[in-house]
Amino acid sequence: MQCRICDSNASHRTYTVKEMMMGQLEEHEYFQCSQCHCLQITTIPANLSDHYPSNYYSYVAPNSKGGAKQSLIRLRDQYAATGKNMMGKALQLLSPNAKLTTLRPLNLNENTRMLDVGCGAGLLLHSLRELGFKNLLGLDPFNQDLIQYPNGLRIEKRDLFSEKGQWDVIMFHHSFEHLPEQQATLKKAFELLAPNGTVLLRVPTVTSYAWQHYGINWVQLDAPRHLFLHSVESIKVLAEQCGFTLDKAIYDSNAFQFWGSEQYEQGIMLRDERSWAENPEKSIFTAAQIKEFEKRAQELNSLNQGDQAAFYLRKP
Protein backbone atom coordinates (compact mmCIF):
# COMPACT_ATOMS: atom_id res chain seq x y z
CA MET A 1 0.00 0.00 0.00
CA GLN A 2 1.28 3.42 -0.94
CA CYS A 3 0.49 6.43 1.24
CA ARG A 4 -1.58 8.91 -0.77
CA ILE A 5 0.00 11.83 1.11
CA CYS A 6 3.77 11.22 1.26
CA ASP A 7 4.02 8.30 -1.25
CA SER A 8 5.72 6.02 1.28
CA ASN A 9 5.68 2.33 0.31
CA ALA A 10 6.95 1.15 3.68
CA SER A 11 5.10 -1.39 5.79
CA HIS A 12 1.97 0.26 7.20
CA ARG A 13 -0.22 -1.01 10.04
CA THR A 14 -3.81 -1.82 9.06
CA TYR A 15 -7.07 -1.59 11.01
CA THR A 16 -10.58 -2.93 10.44
CA VAL A 17 -13.18 -0.30 11.33
CA LYS A 18 -16.98 -0.56 11.44
CA GLU A 19 -19.46 2.09 10.32
CA MET A 20 -20.97 3.18 13.64
CA MET A 21 -22.73 6.50 13.10
CA MET A 22 -25.75 5.13 11.24
CA GLY A 23 -25.43 1.60 12.63
CA GLN A 24 -24.76 -0.07 9.28
CA LEU A 25 -21.79 -1.96 10.82
CA GLU A 26 -20.04 -2.39 7.45
CA GLU A 27 -16.33 -3.13 7.85
CA HIS A 28 -13.70 -0.96 6.17
CA GLU A 29 -9.94 -1.32 6.16
CA TYR A 30 -7.69 1.61 7.04
CA PHE A 31 -3.90 1.86 7.20
CA GLN A 32 -1.66 4.33 9.02
CA CYS A 33 1.39 5.51 7.11
CA SER A 34 4.56 4.64 8.99
CA GLN A 35 6.24 7.75 7.56
CA CYS A 36 3.81 10.72 7.83
CA HIS A 37 1.34 8.91 10.16
CA CYS A 38 -1.76 9.81 8.13
CA LEU A 39 -4.52 7.26 8.77
CA GLN A 40 -6.42 6.60 5.53
CA ILE A 41 -9.01 4.25 4.11
CA THR A 42 -7.47 1.52 1.96
CA THR A 43 -10.22 1.47 -0.67
CA ILE A 44 -12.49 4.46 -1.23
CA PRO A 45 -16.08 3.13 -1.57
CA ALA A 46 -17.64 3.55 -4.99
CA ASN A 47 -20.99 4.33 -3.34
CA LEU A 48 -19.66 7.05 -1.03
CA SER A 49 -22.70 9.29 -1.53
CA ASP A 50 -24.92 6.56 -0.05
CA HIS A 51 -23.28 7.20 3.31
CA TYR A 52 -24.74 10.72 3.47
CA PRO A 53 -28.48 10.19 4.04
CA SER A 54 -30.95 13.07 4.19
CA ASN A 55 -30.76 13.12 8.01
CA TYR A 56 -26.98 13.59 8.03
CA TYR A 57 -26.14 16.20 10.68
CA SER A 58 -24.67 18.86 8.38
CA TYR A 59 -27.96 19.22 6.47
CA VAL A 60 -29.78 20.77 9.44
CA ALA A 61 -30.90 24.27 8.41
CA PRO A 62 -30.15 27.33 10.58
CA ASN A 63 -32.89 29.07 12.54
CA SER A 64 -33.82 32.16 10.52
CA LYS A 65 -36.46 33.45 12.91
CA GLY A 66 -35.97 36.78 14.69
CA GLY A 67 -36.70 37.63 18.30
CA ALA A 68 -34.74 38.23 21.48
CA LYS A 69 -33.03 34.84 21.42
CA GLN A 70 -31.63 35.39 17.93
CA SER A 71 -30.40 38.84 18.95
CA LEU A 72 -28.46 37.30 21.83
CA ILE A 73 -27.06 34.64 19.51
CA ARG A 74 -25.81 37.37 17.15
CA LEU A 75 -24.05 39.10 20.06
CA ARG A 76 -22.45 35.80 21.05
CA ASP A 77 -21.41 35.03 17.49
CA GLN A 78 -19.91 38.48 16.95
CA TYR A 79 -17.62 37.96 19.91
CA ALA A 80 -16.81 34.39 18.89
CA ALA A 81 -15.74 35.39 15.36
CA THR A 82 -14.07 38.76 16.02
CA GLY A 83 -13.34 39.10 19.75
CA LYS A 84 -15.52 42.23 19.85
CA ASN A 85 -18.63 42.93 21.96
CA MET A 86 -18.30 42.44 25.71
CA MET A 87 -21.88 41.29 26.17
CA GLY A 88 -21.17 38.65 23.58
CA LYS A 89 -18.15 37.53 25.61
CA ALA A 90 -20.39 36.61 28.54
CA LEU A 91 -22.76 34.75 26.22
CA GLN A 92 -19.85 32.92 24.61
CA LEU A 93 -18.79 31.67 28.04
CA LEU A 94 -22.32 30.41 28.73
CA SER A 95 -22.90 28.82 25.33
CA PRO A 96 -19.72 28.77 23.21
CA ASN A 97 -19.67 28.69 19.41
CA ALA A 98 -16.37 26.87 18.89
CA LYS A 99 -16.59 26.84 15.09
CA LEU A 100 -16.79 30.63 14.85
CA THR A 101 -13.99 31.03 17.41
CA THR A 102 -11.57 29.36 14.99
CA LEU A 103 -12.10 32.32 12.62
CA ARG A 104 -10.73 34.88 15.06
CA PRO A 105 -7.03 34.44 14.08
CA LEU A 106 -8.02 35.43 10.51
CA ASN A 107 -8.71 39.07 11.52
CA LEU A 108 -11.88 39.23 9.48
CA ASN A 109 -13.84 42.30 8.46
CA GLU A 110 -17.24 42.56 6.78
CA ASN A 111 -15.64 42.70 3.31
CA THR A 112 -13.45 39.59 3.71
CA ARG A 113 -14.19 37.21 0.84
CA MET A 114 -14.92 33.80 2.36
CA LEU A 115 -15.65 30.48 0.67
CA ASP A 116 -16.84 27.51 2.76
CA VAL A 117 -16.35 24.13 1.06
CA GLY A 118 -18.49 21.15 2.07
CA CYS A 119 -20.63 23.31 4.30
CA GLY A 120 -23.91 21.36 4.15
CA ALA A 121 -26.75 23.73 5.04
CA GLY A 122 -24.22 26.51 5.73
CA LEU A 123 -24.81 27.22 9.44
CA LEU A 124 -21.48 29.02 9.91
CA LEU A 125 -21.90 31.21 6.83
CA HIS A 126 -25.46 32.00 7.82
CA SER A 127 -24.21 33.24 11.21
CA LEU A 128 -21.60 35.42 9.49
CA ARG A 129 -24.18 36.83 7.08
CA GLU A 130 -26.39 37.74 10.03
CA LEU A 131 -23.38 39.60 11.50
CA GLY A 132 -23.05 41.74 8.35
CA PHE A 133 -20.39 39.87 6.38
CA LYS A 134 -21.08 40.47 2.69
CA ASN A 135 -18.83 38.32 0.50
CA LEU A 136 -19.74 34.75 1.41
CA LEU A 137 -20.40 31.61 -0.60
CA GLY A 138 -20.93 27.99 0.36
CA LEU A 139 -20.36 24.89 -1.79
CA ASP A 140 -21.51 21.33 -1.15
CA PRO A 141 -21.97 18.73 -3.92
CA PHE A 142 -23.93 16.41 -1.59
CA ASN A 143 -26.74 18.92 -1.01
CA GLN A 144 -30.09 18.18 -2.65
CA ASP A 145 -30.27 21.53 -4.44
CA LEU A 146 -29.23 25.19 -4.38
CA ILE A 147 -30.02 26.88 -1.06
CA GLN A 148 -30.94 30.57 -1.17
CA TYR A 149 -31.53 32.15 2.25
CA PRO A 150 -33.68 35.26 2.79
CA ASN A 151 -30.59 37.16 4.04
CA GLY A 152 -28.91 36.70 0.62
CA LEU A 153 -26.59 33.80 1.44
CA ARG A 154 -26.21 31.16 -1.30
CA ILE A 155 -25.12 27.56 -0.80
CA GLU A 156 -24.49 26.05 -4.23
CA LYS A 157 -24.64 22.37 -5.13
CA ARG A 158 -21.19 21.88 -6.66
CA ASP A 159 -17.58 21.19 -5.69
CA LEU A 160 -14.51 23.39 -5.43
CA PHE A 161 -13.15 22.49 -8.87
CA SER A 162 -15.96 24.39 -10.59
CA GLU A 163 -15.18 27.62 -8.69
CA LYS A 164 -13.51 30.55 -10.54
CA GLY A 165 -13.66 33.47 -8.10
CA GLN A 166 -10.89 34.87 -5.92
CA TRP A 167 -11.09 34.55 -2.14
CA ASP A 168 -9.28 35.77 0.96
CA VAL A 169 -10.26 32.74 3.05
CA ILE A 170 -11.23 29.23 1.94
CA MET A 171 -12.56 27.05 4.75
CA PHE A 172 -13.03 23.32 5.20
CA HIS A 173 -14.86 22.82 8.49
CA HIS A 174 -14.77 19.05 8.97
CA SER A 175 -15.19 18.48 5.26
CA PHE A 176 -11.61 18.05 4.02
CA GLU A 177 -11.29 14.58 5.57
CA HIS A 178 -14.23 13.50 3.39
CA LEU A 179 -12.51 14.41 0.09
CA PRO A 180 -10.65 11.77 -2.01
CA GLU A 181 -8.44 14.23 -3.90
CA GLN A 182 -6.41 15.79 -1.11
CA GLN A 183 -3.57 17.36 -3.11
CA ALA A 184 -5.74 18.40 -6.05
CA THR A 185 -8.22 20.07 -3.70
CA LEU A 186 -5.56 22.07 -1.88
CA LYS A 187 -3.87 23.06 -5.13
CA LYS A 188 -7.19 24.35 -6.44
CA ALA A 189 -7.67 26.30 -3.21
CA PHE A 190 -4.18 27.78 -3.62
CA GLU A 191 -5.10 28.89 -7.14
CA LEU A 192 -8.31 30.59 -5.93
CA LEU A 193 -6.74 32.41 -2.98
CA ALA A 194 -5.59 36.02 -3.12
CA PRO A 195 -1.95 36.67 -2.10
CA ASN A 196 -1.56 36.21 1.68
CA GLY A 197 -4.87 34.35 1.72
CA THR A 198 -5.53 31.51 4.12
CA VAL A 199 -6.97 28.02 3.91
CA LEU A 200 -8.53 26.94 7.18
CA LEU A 201 -8.65 23.18 7.66
CA ARG A 202 -10.62 21.99 10.69
CA VAL A 203 -10.15 18.24 10.83
CA PRO A 204 -9.91 15.33 13.24
CA THR A 205 -6.30 14.41 13.95
CA VAL A 206 -4.51 11.21 14.91
CA THR A 207 -1.97 13.36 16.75
CA SER A 208 -4.26 12.98 19.73
CA TYR A 209 -4.97 11.16 22.96
CA ALA A 210 -8.28 9.86 21.61
CA TRP A 211 -6.73 7.91 18.71
CA GLN A 212 -3.99 6.51 20.93
CA HIS A 213 -6.46 5.53 23.68
CA TYR A 214 -9.57 4.39 21.79
CA GLY A 215 -8.07 3.10 18.54
CA ILE A 216 -10.72 1.73 16.16
CA ASN A 217 -13.46 2.87 18.58
CA TRP A 218 -12.42 6.52 18.23
CA VAL A 219 -15.68 8.23 17.31
CA GLN A 220 -14.10 10.66 14.84
CA LEU A 221 -12.64 7.89 12.75
CA ASP A 222 -16.17 7.70 11.26
CA ALA A 223 -15.67 5.01 8.62
CA PRO A 224 -16.13 5.22 5.71
CA ARG A 225 -16.99 8.94 5.45
CA HIS A 226 -13.63 10.06 6.84
CA LEU A 227 -11.17 9.01 4.16
CA PHE A 228 -8.14 10.70 5.72
CA LEU A 229 -7.36 11.24 9.40
CA HIS A 230 -4.33 13.51 9.33
CA SER A 231 -1.42 13.88 11.69
CA VAL A 232 0.40 17.17 12.20
CA GLU A 233 3.22 15.69 10.11
CA SER A 234 0.97 14.77 7.19
CA ILE A 235 -0.65 18.23 7.19
CA LYS A 236 2.83 19.76 6.96
CA VAL A 237 3.73 17.46 4.05
CA LEU A 238 0.49 18.27 2.24
CA ALA A 239 0.83 22.01 2.80
CA GLU A 240 4.37 22.03 1.41
CA GLN A 241 3.35 19.97 -1.65
CA CYS A 242 0.67 22.53 -2.49
CA GLY A 243 2.68 25.72 -1.94
CA PHE A 244 1.38 26.66 1.52
CA THR A 245 3.09 27.46 4.78
CA LEU A 246 1.54 25.99 7.94
CA ASP A 247 1.08 29.15 9.96
CA LYS A 248 -0.40 27.64 13.14
CA ALA A 249 -2.54 24.86 14.54
CA ILE A 250 -5.14 25.39 17.26
CA TYR A 251 -6.71 22.38 18.97
CA ASP A 252 -10.45 22.74 19.52
CA SER A 253 -11.69 19.30 20.60
CA ASN A 254 -14.61 18.78 22.96
CA ALA A 255 -16.37 16.16 25.08
CA PHE A 256 -17.52 14.24 21.97
CA GLN A 257 -14.19 12.42 21.75
CA PHE A 258 -14.90 10.78 25.12
CA TRP A 259 -18.62 10.05 25.22
CA GLY A 260 -18.82 9.10 21.55
CA SER A 261 -15.83 6.76 21.73
CA GLU A 262 -16.93 5.14 24.98
CA GLN A 263 -20.37 4.54 23.49
CA TYR A 264 -18.72 2.79 20.54
CA GLU A 265 -16.71 0.63 22.92
CA GLN A 266 -20.04 -0.55 24.35
CA GLY A 267 -21.65 -1.06 20.94
CA ILE A 268 -23.88 2.04 21.15
CA MET A 269 -24.14 3.73 17.75
CA LEU A 270 -24.25 7.50 17.44
CA ARG A 271 -27.90 7.41 16.26
CA ASP A 272 -28.95 4.83 18.87
CA GLU A 273 -31.76 5.89 21.22
CA ARG A 274 -29.28 5.40 24.09
CA SER A 275 -26.79 7.83 22.57
CA TRP A 276 -26.13 11.13 24.32
CA ALA A 277 -26.59 12.80 20.92
CA GLU A 278 -30.10 11.39 20.53
CA ASN A 279 -31.56 11.01 24.00
CA PRO A 280 -29.55 12.21 27.03
CA GLU A 281 -32.22 10.83 29.38
CA LYS A 282 -31.51 7.28 28.19
CA SER A 283 -27.74 7.77 27.94
CA ILE A 284 -25.21 5.76 29.93
CA PHE A 285 -23.70 9.12 30.98
CA THR A 286 -24.87 11.76 33.42
CA ALA A 287 -24.70 15.49 32.76
CA ALA A 288 -21.94 15.68 35.37
CA GLN A 289 -19.88 13.11 33.44
CA ILE A 290 -20.31 15.04 30.20
CA LYS A 291 -19.15 18.19 31.98
CA GLU A 292 -16.07 16.33 33.20
CA PHE A 293 -15.39 15.08 29.66
CA GLU A 294 -15.53 18.70 28.47
CA LYS A 295 -13.01 19.72 31.12
CA ARG A 296 -10.67 16.92 30.06
CA ALA A 297 -11.04 17.97 26.42
CA GLN A 298 -9.93 21.51 27.22
CA GLU A 299 -6.93 20.13 29.10
CA LEU A 300 -5.96 18.04 26.08
CA ASN A 301 -6.32 21.06 23.79
CA SER A 302 -3.88 22.99 25.97
CA LEU A 303 -1.39 20.11 25.52
CA ASN A 304 -1.96 19.89 21.73
CA GLN A 305 -3.49 16.45 22.26
CA GLY A 306 -7.17 17.09 21.46
CA ASP A 307 -8.71 14.97 18.72
CA GLN A 308 -9.41 17.83 16.31
CA ALA A 309 -7.59 20.99 15.31
CA ALA A 310 -7.80 24.05 13.08
CA PHE A 311 -4.82 24.27 10.72
CA TYR A 312 -4.11 27.66 9.12
CA LEU A 313 -2.33 27.34 5.77
CA ARG A 314 -0.98 30.61 4.41
CA LYS A 315 -0.43 31.41 0.74
CA PRO A 316 2.73 33.53 0.29
Q: Is residue 291 part of a domain?
A: no
Q: What are the Cα distances from residue 98, in Å, to 76, 222, 250, 267?
A: 11, 21, 11, 28
Q: What are the Cα distances from residue 55, in Å, to 18, 64, 116, 244?
A: 20, 19, 21, 35
Q: Is residue 88 part of a domain?
A: yes
What are the DSSP E strand ranges found in 166-307? Answer: 167-173, 193-204, 228-229, 245-251
Average confidence (pLDDT) over 196-216? 98
Tell me, what's the pLDDT at 91? Answer: 66
DSSP code for 271: T
What is the count of structural domains for the chain?
Answer: 1
Q: Is residue 73 part of a domain?
A: yes
pLDDT, tens digit (0-9, with 9 covering 90-100), for 131-159: 999 999 999 998 889 999 999 999 999 99
Share of the chain above pLDDT 90, in %: 79
CB 253 within 8 A of CB 307: yes
> Of 278, 299, 276, 303, whose CA–CA distance to 287 is shortest?
276
CB 130 within 8 A of CB 151: yes
232: Cα within 13 Å, side-chain hemisphere: 12
Tell me, what's the pLDDT at 74? Answer: 75
Q: Is residue 1 part of a domain?
A: no
Q: Is residue 98 part of a domain?
A: yes
| Rounded Cα–Cα distance for residues 107 and 89 (Å) | 17
| Rounded Cα–Cα distance for residues 61 and 250 (Å) | 27
Could you list the residue range(s) of the whole structural domain that residue 77 is in?
A: 68-104
pLDDT, tens digit (0-9, with 9 covering 90-100), for 216-266: 999 999 999 999 999 999 999 999 999 999 999 999 999 999 999 999 999
Q: Is residue 95 part of a domain?
A: yes
Q: Is residue 86 part of a domain?
A: yes
Q: Is residue 10 part of a domain?
A: no
